[in-house]
Structure 1
Amino acid sequence: MRPGTARTRIAVLVYGLASAALYSGLLPLWEGFDELYHYGYVQHVSTTATLPVIGKSSLSRELWTSLDYVAISHYIQPYVYRPSTSFPEYFHLPDAERESRRRGLDTIPSAFQREPSPRDNYEVKQAPLTYLLLALVDRLLAGAPLPLRVLALRELLSIATIVLLWFGTRGLARRLGLEGPAETASLFAIFSCQMLYGNACHIANDALMLPWLMFFLDAVIDSCQSPTLSRSARTGFLMALGILIKASLLIFLPFAFVAPVWILIQRRASLRQAARLTAVSAGIILALAGPWYVRNLTLYGSLTATLDTTSGVGPKELLSAAVSVPWRESIAGMAHSALWTGNNSFTTFSASTLDLVLFLLALAALLYGLRFRRSLPEVITVSGIAMYCAGLVYITLSFTYSSRGSVTAAMPWYMQVLLAPVIALCFLGLARWRRWGRWTAIATVSLWGYVALATWVAKLIPLYGGFEEAHARPRQLLAWYFQDSARRDSILANLCPAPLALLNVLFVAVLATLMITWIRVLAALLRGSALGFPPHELP
C-alpha cells in the first residue's frame, strides 16, 4: 500500500470528524429528526434510573419549557401542541429578543429536569442501548445548561459513529478486495453525504446503526469463511447489540445463523458442530437482548412495540397498501431523501444534481453487476442489502396504511444504514473496469465533492443563519456572507448550541479538509498507473 493512500484515508477520517463536529454544533435544538423526544428518553433514564413506558412517560418540564425559547420547523409546529416560533419568525426577531431567549434557554431551572409535562413521549418504545449509554454522560452534565448538554451528547455520539464507520467500512472493503484509491474514493463519497450527518449528529438511536451493519457483515463473513465458536460468539454479540440499538435490525437476525447453515451445505462440519455454533450465537442473543423483548411482550403484547405492530397492521392491510403506493414516485423520493434532507425543515438539494449523483451510482452498480463474483463476502454483502431493502418495503407499506396514504415512502433516516455497503460495492465494481471504472470514479468523486461544498456554503449555513431565499444564487449568497454578517452572526450565536467562535473555526476546518481530501482523492484516481485496482481484475 502506497504511503500516500494511507495518508489520504486518514485525511478522509479527519474530514468526516470535522464535518460531524460542525454539524452537531450548527444544528439548532430539536431540529434533528424527533430529537426532542429522543433526548427526552435519555433524560428520563438519567434522572430516574428507570426505563420509560409508553403512555406513562412524558417529556420533562425543562424540555417542554424550552419550546418557548427555540425556533422549530414549520413542519413540526402543528405537532408540538403549544405556541412556538418558526425559523422565519425567529429570523425577524430583534437582536435583543433573540439574546433574551437564549438567556432564558440557558437558565431553565435544573429542577425542571425531574418534573413531568403534559406532553407524552412517543419515542420511549425505542430499543434502549443508545439511550442508556448517553444517559450516563447526561447525568454527569446535569448541572450544565440544556444547549451544552445536547451539544456534548451530539458530539460524543457523532464522533463515535464516524470513527466506527471508518473502521467498519475499511474492514468490509478489505474483505471485498476493495483497496487503494478506489477504497479511499468510496470513503470520501460516504463522508460527503449530507444525510450521514443528518442521522449521526442528533441525539437518537439511528446513528449507531450505520457502523453496526459494517461490523456485523464483517463478522458474518469471517464466521462463514472460518467457523469457530469464538466467531459465532462475536456474531451473536453483534446481533444482540444491533437489536438493542434499533428493533428494525431484527430483519438481520437470520444472518446470525448463516455460518452453521453454510458449513452444512459445504459439508465442512457435522450437524453436531453446526448445532454448537448455532447454540452459541442464539444463547448470547437471548441472554443480552432477550430481556428487553420479553419486556415488550409483557407491557405491550408486541415484540418490537413499534407503531405497526401495536396498531393492527397485518398482511391484509399491507397488501391493500401495496396496491395504492405509487412505487415509482416513492422509490425516487426515498433515493433523493437518502442523499439529502434538510433535517426537520425537510429542505432539499437541487433535484437535477441529485439525479446525476443517482445516475452515476446506478452506472457503478451496473458495472459491478456485470463483474459480480460469487465470492462469499460479496454474496453476504449483497444479500444483506437486499434483506434490508425488503424491510424498507415493509416500512413503506406500514407508513402508507397508518397514514391513510398521506405518506407513501419510508422516512429518510431509515435508508442511511445502507449508505456504506452500497457505495463500497459500487466502487468495487468501478475497480473492475479499466476505462469506464476510472472515469466514472472521477466523475462520482467530483460530484460528491461539489455537493459537500455546496451543502455547507449554500445550504446549511444559510438555512440556519437567516438567509431566506429558497434558491441561493451566487451573487445573493456573496452579498449575504459579506454585507449581512452582523445579523447572521447574531442569529447563529443565539440559535445554535455551539459558540459562534467555535462554529467559525469548524467551518474553516471543514472547508479546508474537504478541499485537501477532494484534491488528493482525485489526484490518485487521475494517475492512471496508480489507480490501486488489482491488476488481475482489469479486463
Structure 2
Amino acid sequence: MGGMTAGGVDGGRNHAANRGGAVPVRSREAAVAGGRPVGPEGSGAHRRGRLPLLSRDGRTIAGLWLVMLLMGVTFALLQPVWSRVDEAQHFHYIQYLYENRALPVEGETFISPEVVAVSQDADQWGWYPAGTISQPVRLDPAEWTVVPPGLDSHDREQWVRHNLWYFNYEAMQPPLYYAINVPLYAALPGGIMVKLYGMRLLAALLASLMVPIAYLTAREAFPDSRLVTLGAPVVVLLAQGYALNMSQVTNDALATPLAAAAILVLLRMVRRGYSTRRSLIAGVLIGAAMMTKMTVVFLLPVALLALLLPLVYGREAIKRALVNGALIIAPVAAMAVPWMLRNISVYGDATGAAAAQPLMSSFFASPLRNMESLRINELLPTFWFGEPVFPFPFWQVAWVPLLAAMVMALVGMAFYFAHSYRLHVRDIRISVVFLTLTFVLGVGINL
C-alpha cells in the first residue's frame, strides 16, 4: 500500500503518461500519482532487490557482522567484572526476576550477597576501577537500610554517596531485556561468573545486529551509493565505545538495535508509503524498545514525523495518515500502558522517576548548563572510545581527526540542504530530511 509500482521510476513515468501527465526530470521526489508516491529516490532495482549472502555486498556485510561479533565477544570476555557502570545492578535485576518471580522496586531492593561477593573478589565498587578505592564498611545486608526520611539535601547527598552501591538503582527500568535473559540465567550451569559471561555474550550478539541494520538503513536512504551503504556499518565497527559498552550486561544492548530497527521501518514508510504491515511492525518495535529502556521515547515523535513527511511531500492523504498512526500507537499502548499503570501504583508516577530521584539526584543534581556540559564532554569518549568515565587512554589524541570528520559531516549536510532548497524544497530527499530530524530529536530529547 502506498509503495512503488513494479517498474520503479519507469513504471511511475508510464503511469503518469497514461494520465496525460509528465514526470519532471528535475525532481523525482515530487512525482506523485493520486497523492501517493510513484517511485523512490535512486534505483528501484537496487532498493527492492534481495541481498544474497553469496553476492559481493552480502559477503561484505556478513564479514563486517562477524568482525563486530568477534569484537563484542572479545570485550565481553576481557573487560573487568561488573564493568564500571551499573553492570552489577543490571545483573542483579535478572537474578531477582528469576529468584522472586517479581520485579524489583526502586529505592527498596538491594543487590544480592552473591553480587557483593563478586565485587569483593574483584575489588571493584561502583564507578571506580578495581583496586582504586577501599571496600565499603557495611558489607552485611542486615545493616543496609533505605534512605532515611527527613534528611536535608546535604545530609542526604552524603548518605547516598556512601550507600548507593548496595541499592539496585536500575530497578526502575522496564523489564523486557531482563525477562529475555531469565531463561539463559536459568539454563547456564555453574556459579554466578558463568551466568555473567553467558549473558555478556548474549549482549554482544544483540549489539552486533546494528551492522546489518545500519546497512539496510543506508541502502534505503541512498540506494545508489555503495560508499554510503557499506560505509555505515563500517562506522558502527569504528565506534569502539559501542562495542565495549554493549558487551556488558546492560539493557542498552537490546534497546539500541530495537530503536534502530524501528527507525529503519519508519524510513521505509516515509519512502515507500504507508502500509498496515509497516505501521504495525513499527509500533511493535517502538513498544518493545520502550519496554527495554524509556529513553527511546523519542521514537514517538519520530513516528509522528514519519507520518507527516509524506503529507508535506504530497505523497499521502490525511485520512491514511490518521489510520496508520492509530496502527502504530495500538501496539505501543498495549505494551507501555500496563507498565506505566504498574509504576503509578508502586511509585505514584508513570516512569518511577519519583523513586529514583532521592538516590540519583545526589549524583545528577547539577544545574542544567553544567549537566549539558558534562554530557557533551562525555560524548566523544563514550561513543567512540569506551567507558564514559574511563575511556581508552589514546582517545585524547584520536578525537582531533574524529571531531574534524564529524564537523565535515555537519557542514556537508548543511551544504546539501542549502543547495537543494535553492532549487526546490521537494528536491531535498525525503529520506535525508527524515534521518536528519530523527537525529535532532534523539539527541535533543536525551542530551
**TM-score normalised by structure 2 residue count:** 0.71
Contact 2:65-2:212 within 8 A present in 1 as well: no
Q: 2:107 aligns with which of 39, 45, 55?
A: 55
Residue 167 of structure 2 is aligned to residue 120 of structure 1: yes
Counterpart CA distance in 2 for 1:332 and 1:345 is 12
Aligned counterpart, 1:389: 443
Counterpart CA distance in 2 for 1:51 and 1:325 is 30
Contact 1:300-1:310 within 8 A present in 2 as well: no
Counterpart CA distance in 2 for 1:82 and 1:312 is 19
Q: CA shift at 1:281, angstroms?
A: 1.5
Q: CA shift at 1:323, angstroms?
A: 4.7
Contact 1:32-1:198 within 8 A present in 2 as well: no
Counterpart CA distance in 2 for 1:323 and 1:29 is 34
Distance of aligned partners of 1:300 and 1:224 in 2 relative to their CA distance in 1, 3 Å threshold = same
Distance of aligned partners of 1:260 and 1:309 in 2 relative to their CA distance in 1, 3 Å threshold = farther
Q: CA shift at 1:182, angstroms?
A: 4.2
Counterpart CA distance in 2 for 1:214 and 1:333 is 22
Q: Structure 1: which 5+ runs fail to align? A: 85-117, 394-539
1:355 partner SS: helix
Give the number of equivalent residue pairs.
354
Contact 1:205-1:246 within 8 A present in 2 as well: yes
Please say which of residues 123-132 and 57-66 is displaced more in the overlay: 57-66
Q: CA shift at 1:50, angstroms?
A: 1.4
Contact 1:56-1:120 within 8 A present in 2 as well: yes
Q: CA shift at 1:190, angstroms?
A: 1.6
Counterpart CA distance in 2 for 1:274 and 1:250 is 20
Residue 431 of structure 2 is aligned to residue 377 of structure 1: yes
Aligned counterpart, 2:394: 349
Counterpart CA distance in 2 for 1:65 and 1:292 is 32
Counterpart CA distance in 2 for 1:180 and 1:61 is 53
Counterpart CA distance in 1 for 2:371 and 2:83 is 29
Residue 93 of structure 2 is aligned to residue 41 of structure 1: yes
Counterpart CA distance in 2 for 1:326 and 1:281 is 32
Q: 1:321 aligns with which of 334, 358, 367?
A: 367
1:23-42 equivalent positions in 2, closer than 5 A: 23-42=75-94
Distance of aligned partners of 1:357 and 1:266 in 2 relative to their CA distance in 1, 3 Å threshold = closer
Counterpart CA distance in 2 for 1:60 and 1:381 is 43
Q: CA shift at 1:181, angstroms?
A: 4.2
Aligned counterpart, 2:243: 197
Distance of aligned partners of 1:261 and 1:313 in 2 relative to their CA distance in 1, 3 Å threshold = farther
Contact 2:89-2:170 within 8 A present in 1 as well: yes
Q: CA shift at 1:120, angstroms?
A: 2.5
1:127-206 equivalent positions in 2, closer than 5 A: 127-141=174-188, 143-162=189-208, 164-177=209-222, 179-206=225-252
1:99-118 equivalent positions in 2, closer than 5 A: none
Counterpart CA distance in 2 for 1:270 and 1:47 is 52
Distance of aligned partners of 1:346 and 1:72 in 2 relative to their CA distance in 1, 3 Å threshold = farther
Q: CA shift at 1:247, angstroms?
A: 0.6
Counterpart CA distance in 1 for 2:321 and 2:300 is 17
2:120 partner SS: coil
Higher relative helix content: 1
Aligned counterpart, 2:403: 358
Contact 2:106-2:171 within 8 A present in 1 as well: yes
Aligned counterpart, 1:480: none
Contact 1:243-1:289 within 8 A present in 2 as well: yes
Counterpart CA distance in 2 for 1:50 and 1:270 is 46
1:66-465 equivalent positions in 2, closer than 5 A: 66-72=118-124, 75-76=127-128, 81-82=136-137, 119-141=166-188, 143-162=189-208, 164-177=209-222, 179-225=225-271, 226-266=273-313, 270-306=317-353, 310=357, 321-323=367-369, 327=373, 331-342=376-387, 345-372=390-417, 374-393=428-447
Q: Greater relative contact order (Cα 8 A, min sep 6): structure 1 or 2?
A: 1
Distance of aligned partners of 1:309 and 1:257 in 2 relative to their CA distance in 1, 3 Å threshold = farther
| Partner amino acid, structure 2, of 1:391 | I
Counterpart CA distance in 1 for 2:100 and 2:263 is 36
Which digits, 9 at most, give the CA deviation of each residue in 1:123-160, with x for residues without a partner? 1111111111011210122x412111111111012112
Which digits, 9 at most, give the CA deviation of each residue in 1:36-70, with x for residues without a partner? 01000011111122111123322122112222211
Contact 1:33-1:202 within 8 A present in 2 as well: no
Counterpart CA distance in 2 for 1:269 and 1:176 is 19
Distance of aligned partners of 1:260 and 1:340 in 2 relative to their CA distance in 1, 3 Å threshold = closer
Counterpart CA distance in 2 for 1:65 and 1:312 is 23
RMSD (CA atoms):
3.2
Counterpart CA distance in 2 for 1:8 and 1:267 is 37
1:68 partner SS: helix
Aligned counterpart, 2:14: none
Counterpart CA distance in 2 for 1:234 and 1:265 is 23
Q: CA shift at 1:208, angstroms?
A: 1.8
Counterpart CA distance in 1 for 2:76 and 2:369 is 40
| Partner amino acid, structure 2, of 1:81 | P
| Partner amino acid, structure 1, of 2:279 | S
Contact 1:260-1:274 within 8 A present in 2 as well: yes
Q: CA shift at 1:364, angstroms?
A: 3.1
Counterpart CA distance in 2 for 1:330 and 1:280 is 35
Counterpart CA distance in 1 for 2:245 and 2:60 is 25
Distance of aligned partners of 1:344 and 1:154 in 2 relative to their CA distance in 1, 3 Å threshold = farther
Contact 2:210-2:236 within 8 A present in 1 as well: no
Contact 1:240-1:288 within 8 A present in 2 as well: yes
Counterpart CA distance in 2 for 1:353 and 1:210 is 25
Counterpart CA distance in 1 for 2:284 and 2:275 is 14
Counterpart CA distance in 1 for 2:235 and 2:306 is 31
Counterpart CA distance in 2 for 1:347 and 1:11 is 26
Residue 64 of structure 2 is aligned to residue 64 of structure 1: no
Counterpart CA distance in 1 for 2:204 and 2:74 is 10
1:191 partner SS: helix
**TM-score normalised by structure 1 residue count:** 0.59
Q: CA shift at 1:381, angstroms?
A: 0.9
Distance of aligned partners of 1:266 and 1:3 in 2 relative to their CA distance in 1, 3 Å threshold = closer
In percent, how many aligned pairs have the same letter?
19
Aligned counterpart, 1:449: none
